């Protein structure tokens, strides 16, 4: 039984903004794979819901006029994984969201829902941070854009004001051009598992494949929100593609992350895994980029 006070079906993005403004306590619902579970558990019992599920204008993946990869917020995980633009430009994002839940969840769950719930364990979040995603937000006053690092305010809270919804996620050309990445998720099971810690790395090598032109790394469950590791990035960028530098790169992440102690994993264990995962993800990204570790 679902204890829902009222359900409003938005007919357009503007209509959704109007409904959310008129009903300030209402919760947006898209695929429902998170919200309906929370309602049934009693966490959102008695809530008003504004459904945006029928807004096909929020679905699909394209290259916009500025050559950003534009992902509509209602695009499902399964469609992201199968999309040829994602496979060509940002294959690691398709790989990451393909680790979410099971086939049924991936068919109904959306990239917008995965980011807007604000949790650090979201499988898309660390990859979107590593690829420097931009969040498109539409509200009563029009459209605005947030860097993804600014979109996540604290655990479970994102930068959405009254009457606003997330309408798209943009990956800038500078962040994907000639870049190759890898995502590693650690959990006790291979499927239907929330990440104990997740690590996403991408790399752009020099033309001769011997130098790190640009490296980005981000984590989930290494802090209260998904986060980059700037110390590790600053260390490795411009250096030679050597095993020694890869080893040190992993150690540098300890200057940035702050995983918590919980029943699912201890702080020291997560720190150890963060180091190992950084090194492994970087090695695999180098391989995908056509490089060779010396």
- Annotate the chain with three-state secondary structure: CCCEEEEEECCCHHHHHHHHHHCCCCEEECCCCCHHHHHHHCCCCCEEEEECCCCHHHCCEEECCCCCEEEECCCEHHHHHHCHHHHHHCHHHHHHHCCCCCHHHHHHCEHHHHHHCCCCCCHHHHHHHHCCCEEEEEECCEEEEEEHHHHEEECCEECCCCCCEEEEEEECHHHHCCCEEEEEEECCCCCCCCCCEEEEEEEEECCCCCEEEEEEEEEECCCCCCEECHHHHHHHCCCECCHHHHHHHHHHHHHCCCCCCECCECHHHHHHHHHHHHHHHHHHHHHHCCCCCC
Tens digits of residue pLDDT in 4-23: 899 999 999 999 999 999 99
Tens digits of residue pLDDT in 219-262: 999 999 999 999 999 999 999 999 999 999 999 999 999 998 88
Length of the chain: 294
CATH fold of 4-51: 3.30.43
- At 52, phi and psi to the nearest 5? -115, 10
Tens digits of residue pLDDT in 133-160: 999 999 999 999 999 999 999 998 999 9
CATH fold of 56-174: 3.30.465
- Per CATH, the number for 179-288 is 3.30.390.50
Above 80 in pLDDT, residue 2?
Answer: no
Give the mean model confidence (pLDDT) for residues 111-121.
92
Residue 68, Ramachandran bin (φ over 0: left; ψ between -120 and 50: alpha; else beta) = beta
Tens digits of residue pLDDT in 187-207: 877 667 788 899 999 999 999
Give the mean model confidence (pLDDT) for residues 91-102.
93
Q: What is the pTM of this model?
A: 0.94
Residue ranges per domain, the chain? 4-51, 56-174, 179-288
The pLDDT of residue 45 is: 77
Q: Find all residues with CB under 8 Å of 110, minimum gap 6, and list them.
A: 30, 31, 73, 74, 75, 76, 77
């Amino acid at each position: 039984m679902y204890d829902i006070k009222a359900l409003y079906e938005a007919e357009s993005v503007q209509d959704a903004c109007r409904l959310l403004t008129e009903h300030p306590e209402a919760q947006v619902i898209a695929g429902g794979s998170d919200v309906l579970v929370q309602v049934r558990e009693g966490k959102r019992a008695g809530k008003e819901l504004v459904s945006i599920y029928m807004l096909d204008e929020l679905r699909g993946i394209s290259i916009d006029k500025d050559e950003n990869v534009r992902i509509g917020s209602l695009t499902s995980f399964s469609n992201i994984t199968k999309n040829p633009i994602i496979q060509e430009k940002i294959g690691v994002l398709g790989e990451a969201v393909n680790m979410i839940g099971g086939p049924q969840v991936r068919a109904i769950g959306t990239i917008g829902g995965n980011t807007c719930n604000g949790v650090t364990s979201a499988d898309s979040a660390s990859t979107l941070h590593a690829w420097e995603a931009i969040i498109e937000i539409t509200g009563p006053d029009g459209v605005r854009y947030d860097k993804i690092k600014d979109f996540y305010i604290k655990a479970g809270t994102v930068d959405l004001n009254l009457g606003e919804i997330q309408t798209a996620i943009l990956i800038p050309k500078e962040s994907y051009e000639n870049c190759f990445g890898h995502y590693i998720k650690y959990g006790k099971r291979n499927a239907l598992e929330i990440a104990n810690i997740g690590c996403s790395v991408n790399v752009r090598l020099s033309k001769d494949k011997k130098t790190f032109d640009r490296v980005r790394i981000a984590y989930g469950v290494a802090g209260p929100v998904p986060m980059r590791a700037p110390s590790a990035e600053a260390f490795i960028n411009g250096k030679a593609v050597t095993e020694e530098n890869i080893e040190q790169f992993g150690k540098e992440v300890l200057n940035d992350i702050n995983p918590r102690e919980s029943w699912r994993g201890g702080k020291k264990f997560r720190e150890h895994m963060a180091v190992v995962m950084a090194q492994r993800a970087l090695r695999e990204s180098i391989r995908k980029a056509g490089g060779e570790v010396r």
